[in-house]
Structures are given as structure tokens and as C-alpha cells.
A and B are shown apart, each in its own frame.
Chain A
Amino acid sequence: MTECPECAASVESHDKIVGEIFPCRECGTELEVNAVEPFGVQPAPHEAEDWGE
């Protein structure tokens, strides 16, 4: 168990492996597993979009 670095929601490991990318259930941020023991995540790199704004 750890926290999402963006929204502080609880994030559970559920046998995830290093490098696995998954979305935070609360804020939707793509998280990348950077450690399993102890379990740790960081925001996954992604290409920026401008959404035409």
C-alpha cells in the first residue's frame, strides 16, 4: 500500500511488478511502479496534449 503522488489516494500493490503502469482509481493519473518492496509508484511519463486549448 502506498499513496498516489498526485492526489494522496491509497494505492494497493496487488502483485504489481516494477515498470507496470496503471491509473489511480481516484484521479486517473497514470502511475508507474518503481519498487515492490516496499511498494512505490511515481507518475508515469506521458506525452503532453494541448487539447486544442
Chain B
Amino acid sequence: MNVAVVGGSGFVGGELVRLLLGHPEVTVRQVTSDSMAGQPLARAHPNLRRATPLLFSRRSELQPAEVTFLATPHGEAMGQAPELLATGGTVVDLSADHRLKDGAEYPRYYHREHPHPELLAEAVYGLPELHRDALRRARLIAVPGCIATAAILALRPLAGDPARPGLRAVVDAKSGSSASGRDAGPAGLHAERSGVMRAYAPTGHRHTAEIEQETGVPIALSCHGVEAVRGVLATVHLLGASPLPDRELWKTYRAAYGPEPFVRVVHDADGIHREPEPKILAGTNFCDVGFASDPAHERTVLLAALDNLGKGAAGAAVQCLNVRYGWPETTGLGFLGLHPV
């Protein structure tokens, strides 16, 4: 299958190309970047040196492909998707432009009107754990945000529990620097970023919208940047409801994720890595989820860890591709990670 990547010079684009080059069912025909047109991919992504003879091409030179991945900044894909869909191909959008079902949320969270709100109803939110059947028929796939993926997968097994009406949650998320992209600006300077523990969005983070959309749970989200390149750790606090004992939480999470190839329940009784942590997930498509019951404070703590460029972006896009075309879901995503790392 021939695929193209639009916006391939960014971190997400580079990770996506890396995964696609190793995918046995896929041939990467074109990778665009207006800022790096004519240069080899390894100029932006040195890990891809000698992996492909492709050069970045201009967006205006894009040829129709069976699948086009949009790894463009937020706001660009919403203008490009209709033209690409008209060629008959499948579009996988890794930006936020088609994640929200309610077009009115775009001015609120992304400060722009959506020019094609009719596509929001058609787009399938690219979380196979929730929308696998719809993804099999999708023309337009909206890959979730990294923090959103972690929070949703942590929350979802309890979100639909009829015994917990009126559930509310506080989500505390930490993320590595690559989540802010290749053109991060002054905040990404080493002098500013090194050693950082920064509350960059104590309120108002835009992933709030998609987490609430996919879980039905009102959430209060606070996001922090920490000293890491890759990784997201979401700590979710459910307050005021009688917490389930650990044994029941085990049953609930095992029932939800037992057959899932990329969601692992982690809540070990002993050892160093007792709860989910993102460090060992770098380069993988796993999301590890865990929990802890705190009955003394009527609190249940849920945890989820992932690689923001993996299950939080490019890995999720490839997993969706596999679901869409009926290939084994793990195709091209078999990397188990490194330890120590």
C-alpha cells in the first residue's frame, strides 16, 4: 500500500516515518515539508539515515496516495482533508483538527472556527480500544492527543459505571519536551527547559475537550512539563465516590483491557516498577494503566503512562491503519522498549 506523510519534518512526522518504513504492508512514497523540501529525511531525523532514499518534497507536489497522514500543526489539516478525501484515499490526521465532534468547541479551545464542521461527524476518533468497529470503515481518522489518550484509557473502565453517577475527576498530567513539537520556541531552549518542572497549563488545556467527549466525565486537567524528552504520565483522582478495593479494580481493568494488545494493567505488589511509568515505554505503542484505592480519603487514583510520540501520536496512527485495513493490529509496532534507558 502506498502512503504519504504531510508535514514529515516534525517530531511526530519523524516517528511516523520510522514506524511506516518498518511496516511490511506499507510503502512510503512521499514525505512533505515545505521548510525542508529537497533535503534528505535524515537531515531532520538522523535515526533514519540510510533507511530511505526519499527527499522531503513540497506540499504542492503531493501526489494522491491510498493513505495520507497529516502530521501538520493544528489548524492546517482542517483545510487539507476535504481535498485529500476527494481523491478517494483515507486520511489519518495526527493533529487536533478532527478530534472534536462539536464544532463549537474549536473556537473555545483552538481559537478558530472549523471550516468544515460536516467532517467532524464523519471523523472517527482514533482510539481502537473505544472505536475499533468504526475505524474499520473510516475515511477520516482523528488520532487523539497524547495526554488525552492517557487520561481516557485510565478513566474509561470506570467512566461508564452506572453505580457511579455524577463522577468527576482531577487529571494531573506530566509530559516530556517533545510533546511541544520541533518548533517549540523560547520555552524549549535548553536554558529554559533543562531541569524544569513547569505548570504550563494549570487550567484550560485543550485536551480537556476530547477527554470529556470520550469519557463523559467532567474533568479538571492540569498539565506540567518535566525533565524528559518523551513520555506522558497522567494521574487521575476520582474524589467523593466510594473507591473500589484493589481486587475489584483489577477485575474491572482486566475485563476492559485483557485482550488489548497495547494496553497493559500494571499494579505490582513489589519491585521498582510497581505502577505505570513512561520511561520504559519510549519508542513503543504501549499505554500502561494502573490504579490505587484510597478508602480513607474516598479517593481512587488512576494512572496511565505512554510515549507521547508513540501511543500518543505516531504509534496510534499506525495502529489505526492496521485496524482500518484488517492487518494484525501489532503489525509494525512490535518494539518492546529499552531497559535500562
Which B residues lie within 8 Å of A8 (CB)? 247, 250-251, 254
Q: Which residues of A contact B271 (CB under 8 A)?
A: 28
Whether A42 is near chain B, meaning CB under 8 Å from some CB there, is no
Interface contact B270-A26, CB-CB below 8 Å:
no
B269 touching A27 by the CB < 8 A rule?
Answer: yes
In whole angstroms, what is the CA distance A8 to B265 when docked?
A: 13
Tell me whether B269 and A28 are in contact (CB under 8 A): yes
Q: How far is the CA of A26 from the CA of B290 in the complex (A)?
A: 12
* CB of B260 to closest CB in A, whole Å: 15
A5 proximity list for chain B (CB < 8 A): 247
Bound-state Cα–Cα, A29 to B270, Å? 7
Which of B247, B267, B271 has most chain A Cβ within 10 Å? B247
Residue of A nearest to B273 (CB): A28
Return the CB mask of B239-253 against A: 1 if under 8 Å, else 0. Answer: 000000011001100
Interface secondary structure of A, over-half rule:
loop
Interface centre among A5, A9, A46 (most CB of B within 10 A): A9
User: How many of chain A's residues touch chain B, expressed as a range?
Assistant: 10 to 19
Provide the residues of chain B in CB contact with A26, threshold 8 Å: 250, 254, 265
Closest to A24 in B: B269
The answer to whether A30 and B269 have CB atoms under 8 Å apart is yes
Cβ distance A43 to chain B, nearest Cβ, rounded Å: 8
- A6 contacts B268, C-beta separation under 8 Å: no
Separation of A5 and B247 alpha carbons in the complex (Å): 8
Instruction: Give the shortest distance, in Å, between A30 (CB) and chain B (any CB).
Output: 7
Complexed CA–CA distance, A9 and B268 (Å): 13
CA distance A23 to B274 in the complex (A): 14
Within 8 A of B (CB), among A1-49: 5-9, 23-24, 26-30, 46
Please give me the residue from chain B that is nearest to A31 by CB atom.
B269
* B248 to chain A: closest residue by CB: A8
- For the complex formed, measure the closest distance between the CB of B292 and the CB atoms of chain A, giving whole angstroms: 12
The chain B residue sitting closest to A5, CB to CB, is B247
A7 to B269, CA, bound (A): 10
Q: Is the CB of A30 within 8 A of B247?
A: no
Residues of B244-289 whose CB lies within 8 A of A: 246-247, 250-251, 254, 265, 267-271, 274
Candidates A7, A9, A30; contact of B270 at CB < 8 Å? A30
Q: Which residues of B contact A7 (CB under 8 A)?
A: 246-247, 250, 254, 267
Contact yes or no, A6 B254, CB < 8 A: no
Inter-chain CA distance A33–B247, complex, in Å, is: 19
Contacts of B267 in A (CB 8 A): 7, 27
Cβ–Cβ contact B269 & A9, under 8 A:
no
Whole-angstrom distance between the Cβ of B222 and the nearest chain A Cβ:
23
Contact: A29 with B269, CB < 8 Å?
yes
Question: Hey, which chain B residues are within 8 Å of A9, CB to CB?
Answer: 250, 254
* Contacting pair B251 A6 (CB below 8 A): no
Query: In the complex, what's the smallest C-beta–C-beta distance from B301 to chain A, in angstroms?
Result: 15
User: Which 10 A/B pairs are nearest by Cβ-Cβ distance?
Assistant: A7-B250, A29-B269, A28-B268, A28-B269, A8-B251, A8-B247, A27-B269, A28-B270, A8-B250, A27-B268
Chain A to chain B contacts (Cβ below 8 Å), 20 pairs: A5-B247, A7-B247, A7-B250, A7-B254, A8-B247, A8-B254, A9-B250, A24-B269, A26-B250, A26-B254, A26-B265, A27-B268, A28-B268, A28-B269, A28-B271, A28-B274, A29-B269, A29-B270, A30-B269, A30-B270
Q: Could you list 12 further interchain pairs (A-B, Cβ under 8 angstroms) beyond the known A8-B247, A27-B269, A28-B269?
A: A6-B247, A6-B269, A7-B247, A7-B250, A7-B254, A8-B254, A9-B254, A26-B265, A27-B250, A28-B270, A29-B269, A29-B270
Interface residues of chain B, those whose CB is within 8 Å of chain A, are 246-247, 250-251, 254, 265, 267-271, 274
